[in-house]
Structure 1
């Protein structure tokens, strides 16, 4: 076992730049398998006794947190911390931090790619042509130019999506009760006060908000029914924001023309669901932020946060998820 203090990464990958940063600061990196179960995660924590964890894949439960005798900080490899039991971390005096914004460009590009693929029907057209059918005579598509895009959330990813969408010629509307008027104006968007009003006027709705207990199934059957017939839903945020059964019903009825999904209620899925079999849906396995460029930025920010916090150097307030007394200097000696 390495003699240096350990940073555990939940998942098999961390950007080279992030690993080099950790090693240069006196830490050793240890990985779990992809999407570790609670049993596997606890076993790794008990074996390696990490001082910090970079949370990438799977759920970080209360039992796993309790197993960390030396654990001081859990650093999310990204922005959303719904896979971390923050209350348990607080109880055990473990600081939870996030690396928000570093993957914004990659996720925004993916959101727009899903818009194009879904609205332009690229997947079923590709499949039909590979199956020997030439369906030009019966095909009628739609232009994205001039369509109304409703963004739920006004954070870094939504802002990056807005920049790309303006170049396409989409009209922008934003629902985010926590964003300032100045931020929404800077996005080139119109503010909408209620999510129901946003849904009622949007040809495309793209989700860019965290998953919380309050907004679980934000898009349920009732709200999906408010959208204009033949509209689209894009989700690169969190699967739990959408009631997947209601989404399938809306697609099958023609209420929605299509959906582009990078996130799902169960990740990874244990079965191919009826929603996933729908030809009206474009699917990707939660890889919107999985680019070399975003991986380097997010990884170094996540690891850097651990190093800074353990060295008792202050982090920006928006990176701190819970409120605990930050540890005294625990920087490895060289």
Structure 2
């Protein structure tokens, strides 16, 4: 096999089912958290036809190091880590495995909502320290309260349905949503922030919505609200959120993604006891790992071997 038949994976592994789909290509693994210099070197060495993006960013310089590159496939749905303008200029297709991790992210969103509302982490810590807080603790009951969703794609729609099942009033802001889940009310962003007891982010990161949660929008939140982010860290101005958590504007927050990843330590988040943190793993489950890998592999084949795609569909 020659280097023009190579595919680079920006990670250390890929689901076996996805590898089987890509049989016949040389798969080159870049390792965990590959930086630009390492990816450029790999591209210069192997001149791949495709890149499957698990970790890191794909820049114009990386693309220029791979003249044969025809497709960049995201192992998931967030293509903001790929320079899409540069790819378009070079006639390189950028494709996402849309919906492959929707169930996993929606479930993690609800794990974080419930952890916040029921003080799961705090109570566990208190119990381990020898305290029994039954007499003074009161958790937040979600039934009858308002869930505000920013973004109603495959993930947001699943979160909405679960919110309705909990007996919550569900409102959503998404100017591009073609239809709303049953029982979900469409509202403008300002109205959502004023009304929601729980605000959950489910939109892709763009230059238009970068830092949409900032000091000005946080001031519009309902007092004591909770903020959940299982989307992209760049949606939030982190210093402003930290201040809102510290001064009590928000009851708590739960974050699964950050402006800078991996999170550096020490970090201000570690000093706040009303924020729950997870390392951007909302979309990673036993099932979604396979779905994302296979989705990315099929997207690669749709460009490199379009006639072969039909045979790979379930």
Whether the aligned pair in 2 keeps the contact of 1:159 and 1:187 (CA below 8 Å) is: no
Distance in 1 of aligned mates of 2:2 and 2:284: 29
TM-score of the aligned structures, taking structure 2 as reference length? 0.94
Q: Which segments of 5 or more consecutive residues in structure 1 lack a partner in the other structure? A: 316-334
Distance in 2 of aligned mates of 1:300 and 1:199: 37
1:230 aligned to 218, 224, 235, which one? 224
Whether the aligned pair in 1 keeps the contact of 2:147 and 2:197 (CA below 8 Å) is: yes
1:204 aligned to 198, 217, 242, which one? 198
Q: What SS is found at the alignment partner of 2:79?
A: coil
2:164 aligns with 166
Distance in 1 of aligned mates of 2:89 and 2:30: 24
Whether the aligned pair in 1 keeps the contact of 2:170 and 2:184 (CA below 8 Å) is: yes
Listed as ranges, the matches of 1:299-314 within 5 Å are: 299-312=293-306
Q: What SS is found at the alignment partner of 1:264?
A: coil
2:240 aligned to 243, 246, 256, which one? 246
Whether the aligned pair in 1 keeps the contact of 2:201 and 2:228 (CA below 8 Å) is: yes
2:73 aligns with 75
Q: What SS is found at the alignment partner of 1:157?
A: helix
Distance in 2 of aligned mates of 1:258 and 1:163: 23
1:14 aligns with 14
Shift of 1:46: 1.4
Distance in 2 of aligned mates of 1:62 and 1:5: 21
1:188 aligns with 183
Q: Deviations over 1:152-191 (max 9, x none)?
A: 01100111111222222221101001112xx11x343000
1:325 aligns with none
Listed as ranges, the matches of 1:124-143 within 5 Å are: 124-143=122-141
Shift of 1:50: 1.1
2:273 aligns with 279
2:88 aligns with 90
Shift of 1:135: 2.0
How many residues of Structure 1 are paired with residues of Structure 2 in the alignment? 309
Shift of 1:272: 3.2
Whether the aligned pair in 1 keeps the contact of 2:6 and 2:50 (CA below 8 Å) is: yes
Whether the aligned pair in 1 keeps the contact of 2:212 and 2:236 (CA below 8 Å) is: yes
Q: Which segments of 5 or more consecutive residues in structure 2 lack a partner in the other structure? A: 310-314
Q: What SS is found at the alignment partner of 2:170?
A: strand
Shift of 1:270: 2.4
Q: Confirm whether residue 257 of structure 1 aligns to residue 234 of structure 2.
A: no
Shift of 1:3: 6.7
- Kindly indicate whether structure 1 or structure 2 has the higher relative contact order, using CA contacts under 8 Å at least 6 residues apart: 1
Q: What SS is found at the alignment partner of 1:82?
A: helix
2:57 aligns with 59
Distance in 2 of aligned mates of 1:132 and 1:274: 27
Distance in 1 of aligned mates of 2:53 and 2:272: 32
Q: Deviations over 1:67-95 (max 9, x none)?
A: 01211100011112111111111122211
Q: Confirm whether residue 116 of structure 1 aligns to residue 110 of structure 2.
A: no
